[in-house]
Amino acid sequence: MSLDRLTFQGLRNLQPLDIRPCDGVNLIIGDNGSGKTSLLEGIHILGLGRSFRTQQLKHAIKHDEDALVLHGRLEGDPPLPVGIRRERSVSESTIRLAGAPVTRIAQLAETLPLQLINPDTFRLLEGSPAFRREFFDWGVFHVKHEFFDIWRRVRRALKHRNALLRHAKMDRQALAVWDRELAHYGVQLDILRHDYMKSFLPIFEETLDELLPLDGVELTLRYFRGWDHKRSYSEVLHNSHESDRQMGFTQQGPQRADLRIHIDRRPAKEVLSRGQQKLVVSALKLAQGRLLEAVTGRRCIYLIDDLPAELDRHHRHVFCKWLEKMQCQVFITSVEYESLLGLWQKATSITMFHVKHGQLTVQA
């Protein structure tokens, strides 16, 4: 799966562009502030309907312009066009896929599975559990088609239950109804996540083993489902009525699930160097792409902002070798070309773009 054409208008500092990325490695080289990250941001918006830099898409619209218009074409027979338009004066974006309007963002995500590796990716180690839940739920969403519906039902049940808990006079009958609903779908969600992690772990370990052999120490990844492992979820919910009520929300459940990453029982973020952390979080992202392909035959597109940063030459090389092996389309930014030189095999197709003051040119 790859994008063979991109046309962007009105995005950040970028001049209107119309480029033909290759299906292998696309290098985007330019000085600070030239527009490299903006290009990745544009692809991300196409794939997810939202930016990784701002909650409000209107901030990505170029100053002094009224709208941003992004188009991409997924290669295939026939090719699949995807487009998104966001006007400054309208709060919703218009999204089209293969000429038809898109009403569910999930539809976009299904079509264009993206993996982003940028400084925010470190949050997988140092951020709150929400980042790790978003991470594994991405995987569950892509490989288990039931996920989306179950996840929505869990959210709905939680919303209703929490509203009842906050009510001055708690309606016990209604609470029992939402307890049942939440227990039912909460357990289903846990089963999906648990199964996913079981397939994910060996692939992650294999990926990490090449990227960062950890001699003599053990890195463990443990999935925590969000409630006491010795008790059933319905029992937990039933027994926590009073304390949940005092807190005003449901304290245990799949909304608290996490992935615990340790090295010899210490949190990985406390033990690893910055470069090592980058390799661990990259291994997590690469492993997700590998698992997606193994299960569905579909390949992710990788967006990697500043690949060379924090990595020595040897580790850059192993990282690039993994990307080559996976035969995914990748977009890699870097301040200088030299730090990416000689990292690829001859057979790999490479296209290089230079960005200067928002102007993109392709290197012949």
Ligand X SMILES: Nc1ncnc2c1ncn2[C@@H]1O[C@H](COP(=O)(O)OP(=O)(O)O)[C@@H](O)[C@H]1O
**Cβ proximity of 197 and 136 under 8 Å:** yes
> What is the C-alpha radius of gyration for the chain, rounded to an integer number of angstroms?
22
Q: Report the nearest approach of ligand X to the CB of residue 358 (Å).
A: 7
Rounded to whole angstroms, what are the CA distances from 256 to 96, 185, 201, 213, 259? 35, 14, 20, 31, 10
Binding mask 217-236 for Mg ion (x = CB under 5 A): --------------------
Residue nearest to Mg ion (CB): 37
Total Cβ atoms within 10 A of residue 84: 24
x/- letters, 24..63, toward Mg ion (CB under 5 A): ------------xx--------------------------
For residue 26, give the DSSP letter. Answer: E
Q: By C-beta, is 110 or 310 nearer to ligand X?
A: 310
Total residues at the site for ligand X (CB under 6 A)?
Answer: 13
121 is an interface residue for Mg ion by CB under 5 A:
no
Give the torsion sign (CA, 179, 181, 187, 192).
Answer: negative
Interface with ligand X, residue 118, by CB under 6 A: no
Of 32-40, 89-97, 113-121, 135-143: span binding ligand X (CB under 6 A): 32-40
Q: CB burial class (10 A; 0-12, 13-18, 19+) of residue 52?
A: middle
Judged by phi (left if over 0) then psi (alpha if -120 to 50, else beta), residue 205 lies in: alpha
| Residue 37 dihedral angles phi and psi, to the nearest 5° | -65, -35
12 binds ligand X (CB under 6 A): yes
Asked if 26 interacts with ligand X (CB under 6 A), we say no
Residue 105: CB atoms within 10 A of its CB come to: 14
Q: Could you tell which of ligand X, Mg ion, none binds residue 30, using a CB distance below 5 to 8 A set by kind?
A: ligand X
Question: Rounded to whole angstroms, how far apart are CA atoms 152 and 155?
Answer: 5
Q: How far is the CB of 290 from Mg ion (least distance, A)?
A: 27
Residue 66, strand partner residues: none
Among 18, 33, 166, 235, binds ligand X (CB under 6 A): 33
CB atoms within 10 A of CB 150: 21
Instruction: Tell me if 278 sits within 8 A of 318, measured CB to CB.
Output: no
Q: Does 37 bind ligand X (CB under 6 A)?
A: yes
3-state SS assignment for residue 83: strand
55 makes contact with ligand X (CB under 6 A): no
Contacts with ligand X, 134-163, as mask; x by CB under 6 A: ------------------------------
Which of 21, 24, 30, 42 binds ligand X (CB under 6 A)? It is 30
37/250 with CB nearer ligand X? 37
Q: Does 62 bind ligand X (CB under 6 A)?
A: yes
Question: Which of 38, 188, 240, 277 is close enough to bind ligand X by CB under 6 A?
Answer: 38
Site residues for Mg ion per CB under 5 A: 36-37
Site residues for ligand X per CB under 6 A: 12-13, 30, 32-38, 61-63
